[in-house]
Structure 1
Amino acid sequence: MIVVGLTGGIGSGKTTVLKCFQSFGVPVYIADVEAKALMNRSKIIKRKLIQLFGDAAYVDDTLNRPYLSSKIFNDKTLLSKMNAIVHPKVASHFKRWLKKQDSHYVIKEAAIIFENHLENQYNYIITVVADEDLRIQRVMRRDNTSEEKVKSIIKNQLSDKEKIEKSDFVITNNDLESAKKQALEIHQQILQDINKK
């Protein structure tokens, strides 16, 4: 099964692009969504996160995301410890999901493919980019947050330039119609490549 990675910085519009691919009948796996679900569902993850962050990690048996975010935002060590707990579980969940799919290829959306040096897990990688001002506006609207907060998140992420250099395809998502058109072209290109093999 061909696995296509889809990545991009915060506010680039990855979810919008994924919906385009879903409309072409491509199964989509969103690593971040599955990670959050597993952090609430898995007893093993819960136990380990409470050991790492203390009892405040969960409130009423539900992941206390604002608390965790505040802890890991400026602490790379804590972040990598948390990732070491969550990522292997997400990886094995993805493998089980993949076995159930029946299509030419699937898309796995993950924000930090390059940051975690996971390029070799994918046959192709698509990076979604958008103008920085637009990204900031999108995230401020979506998360009801400040411009400073969004800018500091962007600064902590790998630059678009670095991502583009490592990608097979790039979608510029400044407006929906153009993004849809680019997604369709990439979809057709991937199908062509698969048929050649």
Structure 2
Amino acid sequence: MRPWILGLTGGIGSGKTAVADHFASLGVHVVDADQAARWVVEPGRPALAQIVAHFGEGILLPGGGLNRPALRERIFDNPAERQWLEQLLHPLIRAEVAQHLALAESPYAIMVSPLLIESGQYRQVDRVLVVDVPESLQVARTAARDQTSEEQVRSILKVQAAREERLKHADDVLVNDRDLAWLKGEVERLHRFYLTLRGGRE
């Protein structure tokens, strides 16, 4: 039987990675859409050539790789450019993720994506787990982790789906406002529950 797919999402600084890592340590096959997004623009892949043709050589690092901060800057306040980039990359990322999910041998597999809801990727999964965290904690954690200003974090939050929107799509919610030991316990509880499901449904 093919594994069913759990979509794992949460806002920036919510602890998605810690949750995904613990599921992986329990033997669950995890595919990260962010990693897939990096793979599709590696040198030699067709997407990179199209990005350079569109934005110019200035978007490359001296070694020929994609200069992500420069690209982010070009699209940040420019909805038309962002849309162009998303239309190019989203289908490629979807295909890359599907290819990696197909390798799963665990009873269920996890697709981790910060933009699960916004990008419509939630339609590809059987169940949605949202890692939720109060916004003040999100901002403090992210600013500390990325050595960035609270103002910058808040501007990223604006682009991501509002918490309400994410929670509306959730089948399960894990509120990550305590310590790591507690978080791991919650992941293990969910894992035991998920092993009882057929196709992601009770």
Instruction: Judge same fold: TM > 0.5, yes or no.
Output: yes
**What is the percent sequence identity of the aligned residues?**
30
CA contact (8 A) 1:31 1:109 kept: yes
Please give the alpha-carbon distance, in whole angstroms, between the structure 1 residues aligned to 2:29 and 2:44. Answer: 24
- 1:170 paired to 2:173: yes
Counterpart in 1 of 2:113? 110
What whole-Å deviation, never above 9, does each CA across 1:156-197 have from its counterpart, x for those lacking one?
221212211211111111222222222222212211112999
CA contact (8 A) 1:104 1:194 kept: no
User: Given the alignment, which residue of 185, 192, 196 partners 1:192?
Assistant: 196
Compute the TM-score of the two structures, normalised by the length of structure 2.
Answer: 0.90
- 1:80 paired to 2:90: no
CA contact (8 A) 1:128 1:173 kept: yes
Please give the alpha-carbon distance, in whole angstroms, between the structure 2 residues aligned to 1:168 and 1:42. Answer: 39
Alignment of 1:22-33 (within 5 A): 22-33=24-35
After superposing on structure 2, the runs of 4+ consecutive aligned residues of structure 1 that deviate more than 4 Å are none
- 1:5 paired to 2:7: yes
- 1:35 paired to 2:56: no
Cα offset for 1:42? 4.2
Aligned residues: 197
Please give the alpha-carbon distance, in whole angstroms, between the structure 2 residues aligned to 1:17 and 1:99. Answer: 21
Please give the alpha-carbon distance, in whole angstroms, between the structure 1 residues aligned to 2:184 and 2:192. Answer: 12
Counterpart in 2 of 1:55? 57
* CA RMSD after TM alignment: 1.8
Extract unaligned runs of 5+ from structure 2.
none
CA contact (8 A) 2:30 2:111 kept: yes
User: Given the alignment, which residue of 142, 157, 164 partners 1:154?
Assistant: 157
Cα offset for 1:130? 1.2
What whole-Å deviation, never above 9, does each CA across 1:118-166 have from its counterpart, x for those lacking one?
3221100111111222211221122211110001111222121221121
